Amino acid sequence: MSLIVKDCLGLGINKKIIKEKIYNDEENDNFTRQLLSIEEKEEIKKGDFLSINDIRSIIIENSIKDTYDKISHELIIIIDSRINYNIYVVEDNIYTYEELCKSFPFQEFNILPESIFNRQVIAIFENNTNSTNDSIEVFNEEDPIITTYDLVGIATGRIDDNTQIKIPKQIIKSKIFIGGDKWKNFLQLKAFFCGIVQVSKLQVENGQTPEFLKPFTSSISNHIMIESSSSDNAIIESSSSDNAIIETSPIQNNIEKDNVEQNICKNKNIYTDKDTLDILFKKFDNRISDIENKILKIENLISKLNV
């Protein structure tokens, strides 16, 4: 089962979003639900799972605005034990898998959300004090598991290479993913390509491309012309295995079909949807290299003049 939507870069292509993973009771018991008592588990199984709107309300009510990604381990356990799907939390919003892929170009860039977001894990340590309760901390799955107490000890010199840091007695994965530095870089990449697509649309409308923009936008402009000439009112149809369809309007422009065909004939560098982004990346890298070489030459000239 999958969801068919238009790409969010504005290229006019269709993308298929695979239905999000739904965990059964046995799988859920391997996550933070195992920390609950038998009575709490049975109570949860009797009720409904939390909806994404319920989760948003809980996180917003227990967080400061625009810091929704700073979730305590208590909140992670409460939410994770009562959901059967993954959620993705950023500074200012909370998404399901489908919402995330619909709103951001993961398929377009051939990237999985799990490679951008950090899965949250609960680490349980024996307490340093006389308390019978264990200490619990939350970490990114890929980060070193070091307690805050030991981090302070390393920073102050109390812990050296000969001192044994505390080892967690148990590490439990959650179904909650947090956006970090990779997410911020991903947003910058999205903004860059959205800008390129917007400029390409203007070039199609005006029929001219500034020389310095050609390395970035020529292939996208060609693609837009092809999409525009093929159909002015494309309706997305589902395959036999798809049950959720979203209809979206095609890219609107006033290019006549004859002019489009002439422009396509003049430029033989017509690429498939799959190749477009790879070609843009290569052209962008080459353009950056050219600029860096020119800057280096200018710096050399300046240094000679200073001498």
Nearest in space to 121 (alpha carbons), one of 34, 200, 202: 34
Q: Report whether pLDDT(241) > 90.
A: no
Q: Report whether pLDDT(195) > 70.
A: yes
3-state helix, strand, coil in the chain (%, to 5): 45, 15, 40
Phi, psi of 120 (to 5 degrees): -90, 135
Task: Report the distance separating Cα 69 and Cα 79, nearest Å.
Answer: 13
CB 47 within 8 A of CB 91: no
The lowest-confidence range among 57-66, 145-154, 214-223, 286-295 is 214-223
Q: How far is CA 273 from the centre of its chain?
A: 20
**Mean pLDDT estimate for the chain:** 75
Strands 14-18 and 2-6: antiparallel
Q: Report whether pLDDT(159) > 90.
A: no
**What local confidence, expressed as pLDDT, does residue 233 receive?**
45
Cβ burial of 228 (10 Å; 0-12, 13-18, 19+) is buried
Would you place residue 216 in the very low, low, confident or very high pLDDT band (cuts 50, 70, 90)?
Answer: low
Q: How far is CA 169 from the centre of its chain?
A: 32
Query: Hey, where are the domains in the chain?
Result: 2-179, 187-306
pLDDT, tens digit, 9 for 90 and up, residues 245-266? 333 333 334 333 444 344 433 4
The lowest-confidence range among 2-11, 14-23, 169-178, 276-285 is 276-285
pLDDT, tens digit, 9 for 90 and up, residues 107-158? 888 888 999 999 999 999 987 666 667 889 999 999 999 888 888 888 888 8
In the sheet that holds 2-6, the strands lie side by side as 14-18, 2-6, 244-245
**What local confidence, expressed as pLDDT, does residue 139 receive?**
94
The lowest-confidence range among 186-190, 242-246, 269-273 is 242-246
**What local confidence, expressed as pLDDT, does residue 271 receive?**
40
pLDDT, tens digit, 9 for 90 and up, residues 65-116? 888 999 999 999 999 999 999 999 999 999 999 999 988 999 888 888 999 9
The string of DSSP codes covering 101-151 is HHHS-TTTTT--HHHHEEEEEEEEE--SSS-SSPEEEEEETTS----HHHH
- Hey, which bits of the chain come out as E strands? 2-6, 14-18, 87-90, 93-96, 117-125, 135-140, 170-179, 244-245
